[in-house]
Structures are given as C-alpha cells and as structure tokens.
Homo-oligomer: A and B are copies of this chain.
Amino acid sequence: MSELSDVLALSDPADGVTRGHLTPGWLIGGAINGGILMALGAKAMAQAVSAGGGQRDVVAFSAYFLSASEPGPVELRPDVLRVGRNFSTAQVSVLQDVAGSPVERVRMLGTVADLAATSEPVHRQQPPPSMPPPDECIPTSMAPKELVGSIAILQRLDIRIDPATAGFGMGAPSGEGELRGWLRTVDDHVPDAAMLPFVLDAFPPVSFDLGAMGWAPTIEFSGHVRAVPAPGWLQIRLTTTNVSGGLLEEDCVVWDSTGRVVAQSRQLAGVRMPSAPPA
C-alpha cells in the first residue's frame, strides 16, 4: 500500500454512505488538497454506479468547493442519476462532521464509463511537451521554504519542474503562463486511473509563472480521464491564457510514460496579479 492508496481508501457503502479518512500528510496550508477530495468523490461515484450494475471508471467530473476540508473522517454520499448502456451519471456530496453536524465540503457531478471501451483507438492527441528528463529538472524540494514550507503534500510527491518554467522559484517567472514537469509519488504508487483527478490538481498553480505567488482558490474544476496510465513518471503541462478580473483558467494535461494523454482538465481559479499595469 502507498500513502496515496491509503488516503483514497473507501469503506464499503452502507445506507448509501461510504467513508474515508483524510490524513494530515495531504494538507496544503490549513486545508486538505482539493485533488484528494476530487479523487475520493470520483471513486465514490464509480463505486455507486458499478454497484448498481453500471460501469466502473469516472471519465468526466466537475467539482465545486463549498468549504475547506480538515484532517479526519470524511463521508461520501453518492447519488446515481442515470445508468446508461455506455455512460452513467452520478452526483456526490463530500462531507465532514463539524461539532456534530455534517458540513458539505465539495459537490461533484460525474460521468462513469468503461475506460477499456473509451480509450482506444487513438485518432489524434496532443504530443507531450519537449522537456529534459526528470533528473535534469528541478525538484520542488529545492524551492524556497516560504513557498513550500506549509505544503505537506510536497513531502509525498516527487515533482520535477522543467528548468525553462521554474523561474518562479527564484523570483523570475517567465510570464508566459506555463508550468511543465514530471510527477510521481515518493513511495512510487503505480499510476492508475483513480489517482488522475488528484494528479490534475497536484502541481503548483500556473499563476506562479505570472508572478502571482499567492493561493489560487478553485472556483470550478472539471476533468476528463481518457486512459489508464502506464507505469512510470507522469508528465504534466499547465497553461493559462485568459487572465482578467482576478480570475484565470488553468488547463492541465497529463501524459503517461508512453507519451499517451491520460487526463486533462480546466479550472476557473482566483488570482491576485502583481501590481504591474494591465496590458
């Protein structure tokens, strides 16, 4: 068992509820990383559809965050909206008990299908970005303490940033709106489809490359899982193009070690731009 398998473990459902446990190793600042919650929610939706005779893989999900999650027990209440021949639809509420009352953390919708049927053949796909191998990239462990000190998950992830997009770590962001790099867990969790909703949100925010070094709260996050990843490093590219009114879109693409696109996402996130004059 890897630490990621541990935190993504869910109980068998009983009375429509399945339970998990959020461990402090997945904190970012004072809150549990949103990607962990999305991966749990996706898993609970797939479990519920599959238990009803439907498919077993989440291929699309949308997450809206309602309150910050804390370490401790977490409860997932999935609701199957439709079971179809090839695609089913579910919703899930992710809750935690606060002083005896359930408080909702995340509400999600998702589509459940069978990746074996929705991955092949590949007609066309975005090729992975050209970048140096992991050994020639910059580990986030080298980032300044004030940037990564309060981010517990960085001790669980081995993230290597392409030097061409790592300027933010030295106060010299490129301004292009792009981060590229590699990711694996420190205990070498073998990549699987269930971890991809987490991976899509595991990198530092793309706004770092615009010189906006603050927290980038997610307004809405939607992801697509396109294939089961092969073993090995995952390659990640974040980009943003439209930055206005304190909001930006962050697009993420994840490739596996064979160069296959395995997941992509877009989120709308908050950004506090540095006070340079707007272009």
Q: Is A104 an interface residue (CB 8 A)?
A: yes
Whether B122 pairs with A244 at a CB distance below 8 angstroms is yes
> What's the number of copies of this chain in the assembled complex?
2
- In the bound complex, residues from chain B placing their C-beta under 8 Å from that of A226 are 242, 244-245, 247
| A224 with B243, Cβ < 8 A, contacts A64-B81, A82-B66, A123-B279 known | no
Q: Flag A268-279 by CB within 8 Å of B: 1 or 0 each.
A: 100001000011
Q: Is A1 an interface residue (CB 8 A)?
A: no
Minimal beta-carbon separation of A267 from chain B (angstroms): 9
A222 to B224 alpha-carbon distance, docked (Å): 11
A residues 224-243 near B (Cβ < 8 Å) are 224, 226-227, 241-243
- In the bound complex, residues from chain B placing their C-beta under 8 Å from that of A124 are 177, 241-244, 279
Whether B62 pairs with A278 at a CB distance below 8 angstroms is no
Whether B268 pairs with A122 at a CB distance below 8 angstroms is no
Whether B219 pairs with A119 at a CB distance below 8 angstroms is no
A124 to B273 alpha-carbon distance, docked (Å): 11
- In the bound complex, residues from chain B placing their C-beta under 8 Å from that of A110 are 64
Whether A244 pairs with B227 at a CB distance below 8 angstroms is yes
Query: Interface on chain A toward B: helix, strand, loop, or mixed SS?
Result: strand
Whether B220 pairs with A111 at a CB distance below 8 angstroms is yes
Whether A107 pairs with B104 at a CB distance below 8 angstroms is no
Whether B121 pairs with A278 at a CB distance below 8 angstroms is yes
Q: Flag A75-109 by CB within 8 Å of B: 1 or 0 each.
A: 00000011000010101000000000000100101
Q: Is A60 an interface residue (CB 8 A)?
A: yes
Q: Is A59 an interface residue (CB 8 A)?
A: yes
Whether B222 pairs with A222 at a CB distance below 8 angstroms is yes
